[in-house]
Amino acid sequence: MVKLSVIVPFYNVLPYAPDTLRSLLANTREDFEFLLVDDCSTDGTRDLLERAERELPGAVVIGHTSNAGLATARNSGLDAARGEFLTFLDGDDWLAPGHLADLVAAIEELGTEFVRTDHVLCTGRDRKVARAPIAHRNEVLRPREAILPADRTTSVDYPVAWAGVYRRTLLDRGLLHFTDGLRTAEDRPWIWRLHREAESFAAVSLLGIFYRRGIASSLTQIGDMRQLDFIKAFDQVIDETAKDPDAELLLPKAVRTYCAIISHHLGSTERYEPAVARKLRAMSAAALGRMPQDILREALGSMDAERAARIRRVRRGLFAGAVA
């Protein structure tokens, strides 16, 4: 039986994929499988993966015939996964030797549905620890109780799927798949659904994931229309949370986070193409208009002045357009 399925999407990451694959080789075990999903790369990444399929024990290449984005690539891996447990890695990041075995040992010892870990941010030669915002370690917790408070950084603000390991029962319940087609912020609806509907989780202080930042080809560095998928992602968070029995408690957190992300994007419009920047402002205004207005007003009142001012300027434009 396969103990752990590791899902690794790749798209045009030829300069970085060798490090990723070497780190997987340093994590092999006879009951581990590595699902290497090529999202229609055009730079030679696919050839590298096909060689890895021959040389890396447990490796299987899954090829897309068209580029579908990270969410859909992860879903392809989930559909093929056979493991009792599942985890993720991105094709330009890497793992410390033995990290995957430590993950499995942690979730088996704690008996939870999922486990979250810290990770290491890598910018060039610089290294910085990023801790999961969960104070209690090695303790079984209720995921729903880790969503709040609304005005603090909580577990749903640490959405990175690869910083953890997940029991197969979550996949069977439909909680691990991502929204197909989302090009950015795909982890946001995913982490909210996981915390609303899973029954148990824990955080452990493992530092075996190395996340590469500042890559020119990374979508976070590119200011095109794909970046605006964060609005689709957060609309989904709001819509699904509004249907939750605890919507009255949880929606203020969802709305406040959505506003903070909108403000962040509005504050860095210089990295967008002019037409995309205009679209960003229009879509942000429309999103603000869809939010529960009483909760939106409370959220703006709790934010710092600079971020709230950006949101209010966009809101004024929406109302001015409505009057016109």
Burial 173-194 (b: 16+ CB within 10 A, else e): eebbbbbeebbbbbbbbbbbbb
CA dist., res. 256 & res. 304, Å (int):
12
Residues 160 and 300 in one domain: no
Q: What's the pLDDT score for residue 52?
A: 97
The residue ranking higher by pLDDT, 318 or 241, is 241
Cβ atoms of residues 137 and 204 within 8 Å? yes
The reported pLDDT for the residue numbered 192 is 98
**CA distances from residue 99 to 27, 61, 89, 133, 135 in whole angstroms, order as listed:** 7, 22, 12, 20, 22
Residue numbers of the domain that contains 85:
4-218
**Cβ atoms within 10 A of the Cβ of 68, count?**
19
**Cα–Cα distance measured from residue 51 to residue 218, given in angstroms and rounded to the nearest whole number:** 24
Whether residue 219 is predicted with pLDDT greater than 90 in this model: the reply is no
149 prior amide bond cis, ω within 30: yes
What is the full DSSP assignment across 125-174?
A: TEEEEE--S----SS-B-GGGGS--TTS--GGG---TTSEEEEHHHHHTT
> Average pLDDT for residues 155-162, to the nearest whole number?
98
Low-confidence winner among 48-52, 118-122, 216-220, 221-225 (lowest mean pLDDT): 216-220
CATH number of the domain encompassing residue 199? 3.90.550.10
Q: Is there a single domain that holds both residue 105 and residue 198?
A: yes
Q: Which of 218, 247, 272 lies at the terminal end of a domain, its last residue?
A: 218
Lowest mean pLDDT among 24-33, 79-88, 100-109, 270-279: 270-279
> Do 91 and 50 share a domain, yes or no?
yes
Calculate the CA 145 to chain-centre distance. Answer: 20
> Rounded to whole angstroms, how far apart are CA atoms 33 and 60?
8
Residue 321 binned pLDDT confidence (cut-offs 50, 70, 90): very low
Same domain assignment for residues 286 and 319? yes
Number of domains in the chain: 2
Beta bridge pairs of residue 165? 115
- 262 and 152, same structural domain? no
Distance of alpha carbon 79 from the chain centroid: 18
| Residues 189 and 253 both lie in one domain | no
What is the rounded average pLDDT of the residues 95-103? 98
- Edge-first strand order for the sheet with 32-38 is 59-63, 32-38, 4-10, 85-88, 164-167, 114-117, 201-204
The chain-wide mean pLDDT, for the chain, equals 94
Average the pLDDT over 99-122 and give the result: 98
Residues 200, 109, single domain; the answer is yes
pLDDT at 70 > cutoff 60: yes
Segment 57-67, tens digit of pLDDT: 999 999 999 99
Tell me what the mean pLDDT of segment 23-45 comes to.
98
Same domain, 137 and 230: no
Q: How far apart are CA 40 and CA 221, in angstroms?
A: 20
Q: Helix (H, G, I), strand (E, B), or coil: what is residue 123? A: strand
Domain-terminating residue out of 218, 235, 269: 218
pLDDT of residue 176: 98
Both 306 and 244 in one domain: the answer is yes
**322, pLDDT greater than 90:** no
| CA–CA separation, 10 and 37 (whole Å) | 6
> Would you say residue 257 has pLDDT above 70?
yes
Q: Same domain, yes or no, for 32 and 142?
A: yes
Distances (CA, A) of 12 to 53, 108, 121, 217, 254: 18, 35, 21, 8, 33
pTM of the model: 0.93
Q: What is the pLDDT confidence band of residue 319, given thresholds at 50, 70 and 90?
A: very low
For position 270, what pLDDT does the model report?
86
Domain's final residue, options 197, 218, 239: 218
